[in-house]
Amino acid sequence: VQAKRRADYQPPAFSIATVDLHITLHPTETKVVSTLAIARNGAHNAPLVLDGDGLELNAIAVNGEALSEEFYTLGDNTLSINSELDTFELVITTTIAPEHNKALEGLYLSGGAYCTQCEAEGFRRITYFMDRPDVLSVYTVTVVADKSIPMLLANGNPVDKGDIGASSHFVKWHDPHPKPCYLFALVAGDFDLLTDSYTTSSGKEVALELYVDKGKKSQGVFALESLKRAMKWDEDVFGLEYDLDIYMIVAVDFFNMGAMENKGLNVFNSKFVLADQESATDDDFFNVESVIAHEYFHNWTGNRVTCRDWFQLSLKEGLTVFRDQQFSADMTSALSNRIKHVRVMREHQFAEDASAMSHPIRPEEVIEMNNFYTVTVYDKGAEVIRMFHTLLGPDGFRRGMDEYFKRHDGQAVTCDDFISAMQSATDLDLTQFARWYSQSGTPVISVEHKIQNDDNDDVIHTFTLSQHTPATSDQSEKESLYIPVNIEIIDDEGNTYTDNESMIQNGMVILNAPSMSFTVNAENASLTPVVLGNFSAPAKVENPLDTASLLTIFKYAKDPFNRWDAMQTLYDRCIKQIEDAPGCAISNDIWEGIKQAIAQEQSNLELLGECLVTPSFETLCQSRSNINVSALSKARKAFCDQFAQALEQELLQVFNNIDAASYSYTQDAVNQRRCKNVVLAHLARLPQHEGAIVAQFDAADNMTDTLGALRSAQHCNSATFDTLMARFEATWNHDPLVLDKWFALHATQNRDDIFATITMLCEHPQFAMSNPNRVRSVIGSFAFYNSERFHALDGSGYKFVTDYLLKLDAVNPQVAARIVTPLTQWQGFANEHQVLMKQQLGRLLNHKGLSKDVFEKVSKSLA
């Protein structure tokens, strides 16, 4: 298996101005006739090399004449055309079998509907083509199918339709915008259709169409409203308007990822479209709105300006994630969004950077591109864009974006092109900043605080910030990064201090050397440095503060993120204390401090709710090494139990004070439900509150509260949990998307018969290995979130997942390669764990016929 390297990029030897596809759909014999206008780029005599995968080649013609065999070579995954012509028309006819396509890449059947997924390299599974993002063409697509399939969709605008004989029909589509083939899409099926329209700021009317499974129309309303909000927001904030007459979204049940931004024809995992009060949680609503927006925003950041090669993926993904985050913050709340994204960074991205899969947001080397749709490229990529935004300010950032579109509209470009557009909008020198694109790993910012008396007996506080990025598996040498660090210096009465050197500008210092210092004069005051406000850089912080200082930060810091984070650090410390001395009791001072914090935030349920969440097991792992899973889990559990006992009255009071106004999906109502359910999960650790859980389950008129009750019941005795779960299943058995929540709750239970349970789940009538959502809910939830059972020291969890992956890999390598992730991240765990994990990785590596997706991750992890 050969890796590709970023450094080896070569511009395409040919261009393809137009693509005319004529596709006659059939489950096992779909015929694809592709007519390409080919032109040689420059003077050379290399053959035209086209990519192809799993295609049956039927015919090739050049300029209307069948091409005889001596003029082409058919390789395993290529078709090379040897022509001396500089321009010619190439017609290629191939046959494919969508029904047999279980990898869900290329053209496949999803519950009776045809649909496509071409990013990253799926177009080569439809026809021979230069399957790379820097070949841009204008597409005309004719879709032909039996009349039993009424809706035939492709990119762009419909330009013709009609009957073919008595039983077939066709629709012809034209997309005037040149695009790379990864943005091609075709959908054909029988759907319910929701329609609407949107008038752009320049007065253009756009038809909006949302296609959902029959009977699900009412569950599509929220998605369509979200789309309109996203269209408006992109006009308001970035001056970007939609550019076709029609925008279509199709929801399908079988999908490897969240959604896909195909030009004018987004294809979505139905999980990110369908939502209503009864079946969707507040998180589901949030995700629908944010994914709808994300794919819409790609129309400019991704489609109009696309990537030159796949190493540049963060060019569109990091930027588009940042844009959807800003949108969500504007639609909902900045604080809870920030906390949500920081949790993703700490739980998943930091873990990736600490593993053998560590890579910069612009990777250097790739075997299977689908493996690089990662939290690093996406979420750390978005953090890097956020730093541009922080450094340039909203206006500077907008100027940079305007310049980016002015320079590159209609082009396939690189991350360096983006940086250079941003550079044109600022006097800051971004040269060092650009290292964020090439350097992997999580920088650690250490804070040192020294107190001295000077000659005049003034008290001088010296604060030193230093940065250090530990070596990663892909890079041993690290350089200093350019890090914007939001900072406040406060005393224990909440007064703010300025520094003598004016290093702090607008609440921020720039740490661009191994270390930097500044001083503050303060008489009779104990000062606390409050560092990395709003998570101003994707870094870890080591700031040796005592408990009192953490509580001071909670009380007085201006930055609400820091206030939340101080509580997280406090909890982490307490858990550490119990790890070091199992059985020890957390001191009363701390409980008193937390009680005061709760009292202070009675009216701010948003912050209060988040502050009452204890750090997840996965987050705790990131500040530890040599982890014994059972010891850490036990310590976390012991802390949570003490928490519930010590704070029972305060928690109850919060719970009872939140009055259940009638259901609405508004930020206030979301904050209330969130806070109430967080509190309920704490109370669930005390047997006397079991009644409250059952009562909430009985009374709930929305999925957030139903699921909140079920999650809490995970802490109750198993009979109660089982009863509620059985009731839930009876209600939702018909709806697999809702049942996914039930699957996940079962799979994350810490119980002795967990494997019997999972085996039963896999035999459930609604479960299918061919459906990625189901597999993620059962096997993914177990591997990622059932830490105690997955990491059991008899090796049973690792083996169970491996056994499953061996089967899954033959069906859907992309999903298998995602779920193998926790097994590959053995680095932080104690040796007993490591040995067992590597044993199973070894089994995978030795497996005959292993996909290159899984091979890439497993071989790196064992290297």
Tell me if 132 contacts ligand B3K by CB under 6 A: no
C-alpha dist (Å) from residue 594 to 555, 611, 615, 638, 648: 10, 10, 15, 17, 12
Which token pair is 67? 């091409």
Query: For residues 211 and 268, which CB has a smaller minimum distance to ligand B3K in the complex?
Result: 268
| 115, 126, 181, 257: which one binds ligand B3K (CB under 6 A) | 257
HSE-CB for 735 with a 13 A CA cutoff: 20
- Interacting positions 311-330 with Zn ion (CB under 5 A): 317, 320
Distance CA 582, CA 590 (A): 18
β-bridge mates for residue 463, sequence order: 449, 518
Q: Taking CB under 6 A as the rule, which mask of x and - marks residues 260-279 in contact with ligand B3K?
A: xx------------------
| 51, 119, 309, 740: which one binds ligand B3K (CB under 6 A) | 119
Shortest Cβ distance from residue 201 to Zn ion (Å)? Answer: 24
Shortest Cβ distance from residue 298 to Zn ion (Å)? Answer: 6
Taking each helix axis from N to C end, the angle separating 703-713 and 667-683, rounded to the nearest 10 degrees, works out to 20
Q: Which amino acid is located at 277 in the chain?
A: Q
Q: Which does 119 bind (CB under 5 to 8 A by kind): Zn ion, ligand B3K, none?
A: ligand B3K
295, 601, 610, 618: the active-site residue: 295
Q: Which stretch binds ligand B3K (CB under 6 A): 17-25, 254-262, 334-342, 778-786?
A: 254-262
Q: Which does 257 bind (CB under 5 to 8 A by kind): ligand B3K, Zn ion, none?
A: ligand B3K
Hey, what long-range contacts does 726-735 have (CB within 8 A, 24 or more apart)?
A: 727/697, 732/279, 733/766, 735/279
Shortest Cβ distance from residue 354 to ligand B3K (Å)? Answer: 24
Shortest Cβ distance from residue 27 to Zn ion (Å)? Answer: 30
DSSP-based three-state secondary structure for 252: strand
Q: Which stretch binds ligand B3K (CB under 6 A): 293-301, 347-355, 451-459, 726-734?
A: 293-301
Query: For residues 126 and 511, which CB has a smaller minimum distance to ligand B3K in the complex?
Result: 126
Task: Look up residue 695 and give its DSSP letter.
Answer: H
Query: Where are the strands (E) in 469-548, listed by range?
Result: 483-491, 508-511, 515-521, 527-531, 540-542
Is residue 844 within 8 A of residue 806, CB to CB? The reply is: yes
Q: Which amino acid is located at 406 in the chain?
A: K
Helix (H) or strand (E) holding 72: strand 72-74
Shortest Cβ distance from residue 260 to Zn ion (Å)? Answer: 8
Nearest to 795 by CA among 820, 815, 817, 823: 823
Distance CA 651, CA 34 (A): 65
| 22, 216, 294, 340: which one binds ligand B3K (CB under 6 A) | 294
Query: For residues 136 and 739, which CB has a smaller minimum distance to ligand B3K in the complex?
Result: 136
Query: For residues 317 and 601, which CB has a smaller minimum distance to Zn ion in the complex?
Result: 317
Q: What residues have CB less than 8 Å from 663, skipping those under 6 apart?
A: 277, 669, 701, 702
Is residue 389 within 8 A of residue 414, CB to CB? The reply is: no
Count of residues making up the chain: 863
Q: Which does 605 bind (CB under 5 to 8 A by kind): Zn ion, ligand B3K, none?
A: none
Q: 648 an active-site residue?
A: no
Query: For residues 370 and 414, which CB has a smaller minimum distance to ligand B3K in the complex?
Result: 370
Q: What residues have CB less than 8 Å from 759, skipping those under 6 apart?
A: none
Shortest Cβ distance from residue 294 to Zn ion (Å)? Answer: 6
Tell me if 373 contacts ligand B3K by CB under 6 A: yes
For ligand B3K, the nearest residue by Cβ is 119
Shortest Cβ distance from residue 551 to ligand B3K (Å)? Answer: 40
Distance CA 540, CA 664 (A): 37
Task: Look up residue 675 and give its DSSP letter.
Answer: H
| 270, 333, 349, 370: which one binds ligand B3K (CB under 6 A) | 370
Q: Which does 370 bind (CB under 5 to 8 A by kind): Zn ion, ligand B3K, none?
A: ligand B3K
Which token pair is 689? 């509150």
Query: For residues 320 and 326, which CB has a smaller minimum distance to Zn ion in the complex?
Result: 320
Distance CA 322, CA 418 (A): 14
Nearest to 32 by CA among 127, 147, 108, 122: 127
Q: Which does 621 bind (CB under 5 to 8 A by kind): Zn ion, ligand B3K, none?
A: none
Query: For residues 186 and 259, which CB has a smaller minimum distance to Zn ion in the complex?
Result: 259
Shortest Cβ distance from residue 413 to ligand B3K (Å)? Answer: 17
- Interacting positions 310-329 with ligand B3K (CB under 6 A): 317
Query: For residues 265 and 531, which CB has a smaller minimum distance to ligand B3K in the complex?
Result: 265
**Footprint of Zn ion on this chain (CB under 5 A)?**
317, 320
Which residues lie near ligand B3K (CB under 6 A)? 119-120, 257, 259-261, 294-295, 298, 317, 370, 373
- The residues annotated with a catalytic role in the active site are 295
